[in-house]
Amino acid sequence: MNKKIDIKNIAKRNPYKVPKDYFLTLSQNIMYDVDSPKKESIISFSRLKTIAPALVIVILIFSGVWYNNQNTNLTDEDLVELLAFYDVEEDLILEYIDLEKEETTDEYLMEHFNYNELIYEL
């Protein structure tokens, strides 16, 4: 297991080969790469990486505003069909209608009458 390698007897060989005239044209190739302007595209990856989060936020805001501004007017027939589909009890609907009437009545009284006069009348 403990074999000692004799460094002096190892054959010296180079497994790598250099193309012909590589070192003669090396300095010219380097100067050409340094001097030539690099063309950058309008949308480079680094710019896209910095702009992408902002674009996502803008798209989310736009889609949220668009979704909320959708016209969701229901006709009476659509409402009746929905209530029949979900089997809503009539007592619950009547209770909701009474509650709505009370709220609109209260709002009307608050807008058209003086609060102090209303308290005095009660």
Do 66 and 101 lie in one domain? The reply is no
- Output the pTM of the full model: 0.29
> Which residue numbers in the chain have pLDDT < 50?
none
Give the pLDDT of residue 57: 92
Clarify whether residues 52 and 83 are in a common domain. Answer: no
Domain limits at 49?
41-70
At residue 67, the pLDDT reads 83
Decide if 118 contacts 109 (C-beta within 8 A).
yes
Displacement of CA 54 from its chain's centroid (Å): 9
- Domain assignment present for residue 60? The answer is yes
Q: What is the pLDDT of residue 40?
A: 65
80 and 66, same structural domain? no
Residue at a domain's end among 33, 53, 70: 70
Number of CB atoms found within 10 A of residue 58's CB: 10
Confirm whether 85 is domain-assigned: yes
DSSP tag of 50: H
Torsion of CA 50, 54, 57, 58, to 10 degrees: -140
Is 56 among the domain residues?
yes
Q: Say if 2 falls within a structural domain.
A: no
The half-sphere exposure of 8 on its side-chain side, counting CA atoms within 13 A, is 0
Q: Is residue 96 part of a domain?
A: yes
Taking the C-alpha atoms of residue 3 and residue 70, their distance in angstroms, rounded to an integer, is 83
> pLDDT at position 9, please?
75
Q: Do residues 118 and 95 share a domain?
A: yes
Domain check: are 100 and 57 in the same one?
A: no
Q: What residues contact residue 109 under an 8 Å CB cut-off, 6+ apart?
A: 118
